Amino acid sequence: VDIMGQYKHTRDNSYNYRIGMGTLQYQQSRSLVFLVSAHDGAEANIVANVSLTTGQGREETGAEEFKLSKCETEIVEPEFLRCLYVDTVMQCLLQTSTDMDEGLAKAQQLMTTLAGKIQRSPAAGQEIIQAL
């Protein structure tokens, strides 16, 4: 499992991740994109246990199981590309932080690769993707 979008996370064993999503304001949403590989034709499943602390200090929890299928690609693809953009920009910043000339060349290559992935994406025509 890979987690996209530069979220800080910890892993306590081979199946459990703790992901810090920061502060959420009223009616604000956050999206997480996981790259999940199913083995030997098995279905990819994710079980999410959510824990949050309210502004009054009260902790609330919940659980949800997600069964993933290829038909959901249309829903996930825009979020995947958004996270890929964030990850690529962060890589570019890291590349240019040490050697500007060499880093800039690597950063330009990363952005060219990203542009190609966006153009080849089934979501390329969506307004939210064109903004990338």
Q: What is the pTM of this model?
A: 0.66
- Structure confidence by residue, pLDDT tens digits, 64-94: 666 665 556 677 888 889 889 988 998 898 8
Which of the residues in the chain have pLDDT under 50?
none
Q: DSSP 3-state assignment of 34?
A: strand
* 71-95 core/surface letters (b: 16 or more CB in 10 A; e: else): eeeeeebbbbbbbbbbbbeebbeeb
pLDDT of residue 72: 66
Q: CA-to-CA distance for 5 and 3, rounded, in angstroms?
A: 7
pLDDT of residue 45: 67
Q: Is 8 exposed, middle or buried (0-12, 13-18, 19+ CB in 10 A)?
A: exposed
